[in-house]
Amino acid sequence: MGFQKRVEDFVCAKCGLQVKGSGYTNHCPQCLWSQHVDVDPGDRAAQCGGMMEPLRVEGSTGKYRILHRCTLCGTERRVDTAEDDNSAALLALASKNAGAIMGP
């Protein structure tokens, strides 16, 4: 069906932050975790409901995405970063990936 804009506030199930939704909000801006609730963005049709772990930051200057993997079913999704994302959390995630790529 494609993207469906939904303006919804939520409490992050990982860190407890009260998140104010914009209609495009798909992850917690503090810890970067998400919840597996959509088949297509905004449809709330996923039956899983598992937590989506942020695995890595992908992209290049100006356009970054977060790869999430569901901790229950293994579904992977890429989502755009948001202006209000915690820059320290994004840098920590990017650094973790760089360390895994570069090795010890």
Side chain identity, residue 63: K
* Residue of 21, 24, 52 lying closest to 37 (CA atoms): 52
Sheet holding 34-35, edge to edge: 34-35, 51-60, 63-70, 76-80
pLDDT tens for the 104 residues of the chain, in order: 577 787 889 999 999 999 998 877 889 999 999 999 988 888 888 899 999 999 999 987 778 999 999 999 999 999 999 999 999 999 999 888 765 544 44
Q: What is the pLDDT of residue 45?
A: 85
For position 1, what pLDDT does the model report? Answer: 58
For the chain, domain boundaries:
10-102
d(CA 79, CA 69): 11
C-alpha–C-alpha distance, residues 60 and 69, integer Å: 21
Tokens of 41: 């963005």
Residue of 12, 45, 46 whose CA lies nearest to 31:
12
φ, ψ for residue 56, nearest 5 deg: -160, 165
> Does pTM surpass 0.95?
no
Which pLDDT value is given to residue 97?
73
